[in-house]
Amino acid sequence: MTHQIQYECLLPSAPGTSRTVGIHRFGVPGALPKIYLQGALHADELPGAYILHHLIERLREAYRAGAINGEIVVVPLANPIGLAQRIQAIHAGRSDLGLGGNFNRSYTDLSVPLHQYLGRFAAEDITEETVRAFLKKEVDAITLRTELDSLKKTLLGLAIDADYVFDLHCDDEAPVYVYLSDESHPEAASLARDLGARAAIAGTSEMATFKDACARPWQIASRIAGRPLHGCLAATIEYRGTRDVNEETARMDANRLFAFMQRVKILDGEPEPLPPALTPITPLAGVEHLLADRPGIIVFHRRPGEQIAAGETVAEIVDPVSGDRGLVKTSHGGILFGHVATRLAVPGSTIASLAGISARMQTGEEAYP
Ligand SMILES: [Zn+2]
């Protein structure tokens, strides 16, 4: 059993320079169960990085006590490219300012080559080891052109063979909520409870977020095998709002992640009792984004975390020049899980999102804010 800090170099984007990703590795490489956690993939979302700082402290103690059974990989700051992006002193860490777009989109979808590969096996011969070995080989074979390619390949390579992949983000203004890859996974419900999530939204989309890229191959493999393989539970965990970096909640959230790791036997020790569920698990297709229909100043009437009924007003958009006021109502209702930090409405932009209990989304609609 070891604890190592490793620095992985990315391809340079400018001559004579290079960036690195710092990786904490605990336990024995290849040991199962494996968990992978990363923070600040959207580089301006720092609450998760601070939670992982506290988690690493607890994992150091667990390592010294010989309490680590599986493999644990933690990358507290997953995006050195985004960390360095500033425009007139404002940090812009969500999208690559070069050619790459949103840092949490367009990961290589390995479910397509996996589908082809598994076609040569009889269903009963498909095992977790078969899938894991193929996925690792496919990530190794990804070709690189840009620094961003090498970042995505590095992160995917660390996560692709893990049983649990937790990608720590935050919203603008929100309570804790989570996107789960699969409601039917045996640990999905207990994870939402351990996190203290006020909304838990389950499903994957074809947008190839990091969570989706890690989970979708296992969903395809289980379908072809005709039985549930014990694959990856992936989660995008939204730890409140961008400014919610504080000592008390970061320690609490780290302790809750630690308890989950005890519960699934990655760590020895008796976990705290499982907290009560604060929400049902709702489908990804039940998410409703409320859009601004006019320019103006946003005045929110309801707060993140509140349950909103269909037809109720969530916000008003006010034009102080013309005096025009427009109500923003939800059509379907659900838990108001987050809203924007800006109070300037731009027509067509999302200003708030709700998790509804039943599917309503049409094919091709954007599932994530
Ligand atoms: Zn994010």
Look at residue 2 in the predicted model and tell me its pLDDT.
85
Tell me whether residue 7 is exposed, middle or buried, using C-beta atoms within 10 angstroms of its C-beta: 0 to 12, 13 to 18, 19 or more.
Answer: exposed
Q: How confident is the model at residue 365 (pLDDT cuts 50, 70, 90)?
A: low
Q: How many C-beta atoms lie closer than 10 Å to residue 226's C-beta?
A: 9
* pLDDT for position 206: 80
How far does residue 133's CA lie from ligand 1's centre (Å)? 29
User: Residue 99's pLDDT is what?
Assistant: 84
Annotate 259-280 with b (16+ C-beta within 10 A) or e (fewer): bbbbbbebbeeebeeeeeebbe
Query: Is residue 123 packed enough to be buried (19+ CB in 10 Å), middle (13-18) or exposed (0-12)?
Result: exposed
Look over the chain and give the mean of its residue pLDDT values, rounded to a whole number: 95
Intra-chain end-to-end CA distance of the chain, in Å: 40
Q: What is the pLDDT of residues 207-250, one digit of tens each?
A: 799 999 999 999 999 999 999 998 999 999 999 999 999 999 99
Q: Is the pLDDT of residue 100 over 90?
A: no
Q: Tens digit of pLDDT for each residue in 6-56?
A: 999 999 999 999 999 999 999 999 999 999 999 999 999 999 999 999 999
Q: Ligand 1 center to residue 169 CA distance, Å?
A: 4
Q: pLDDT tens, 136-181? A: 999 999 999 999 999 999 999 999 999 999 999 999 999 999 999 9
Q: How far is the CA of 213 from the centre of ligand 1 (A)?
A: 15
> What local confidence, expressed as pLDDT, does residue 205 receive?
86
C-alpha distances (whole Å) from 92 to each of 82, 291, 314, 327, 347 are: 7, 22, 28, 30, 22
SS3 250: helix
Instruction: State the pLDDT at residue 126.
Output: 97
Distance from the alpha carbon of residue 7 to the mean position of ligand 1, in angstroms: 23
Catalogue the E-assigned strands of 18-105: 20-27, 34-39, 71-75, 86-87, 90-91, 95-96, 101-102
How far apart are the C-alpha atoms of 197 and 40, rounded to whole Å? 19
Cα–ligand 1 centroid distance for 182 (angstroms): 19
Taking the centre of ligand 1 as the mean of its atom positions, its distance from the CA of residue 54, in whole angstroms, is 20
Residue 3, C-beta contacts closer than 8 angstroms, at least 6 positions apart: 24, 25, 26, 59, 60, 63
What is the distance in A from the centroid of ligand 1 to the CA of 67? Answer: 32
308 three-class SS: strand
Q: What is the pLDDT of residues 291-300, one digit of tens each?
A: 999 999 999 9
Q: What share of the chain in percent tops pLDDT 70?
A: 97
Cα–Cα distance for residue pair 39/170, rounded to 1 Å: 10
- Calculate how far, in angstroms, residue 167's C-alpha sits from the geometric centre of ligand 1: 9
Residue span(s) of the chain under CATH 2.40.50.100 come to: 283-355
Cα Rg of the chain (Å, integer): 21
Could you tell me if 337 and 352 are in contact, meaning their C-beta atoms sit under 8 angstroms apart? Answer: no
**What CATH number is given for 2-279 in this structure?**
3.40.630.10
CATH number for the domain formed by residue range(s) 283-355: 2.40.50.100
- The whole-number pLDDT of residue 362 equals 62
Does 363 have pLDDT greater than 60?
Answer: no
Instruction: Tell me the per-residue pLDDT of 108-146, one tens digit each, with 9 for 90 and over.
Output: 999 999 999 999 999 999 999 999 999 999 999 999 999
Residue 45 Cα to ligand 1 middle (Å): 6
Helix (H) or strand (E) holding 147: helix 147-159
Confidence of residue 264 (pLDDT cuts 50, 70, 90): very high
Give the integer Cα–Cα distance in Å for 3 and 231. 25
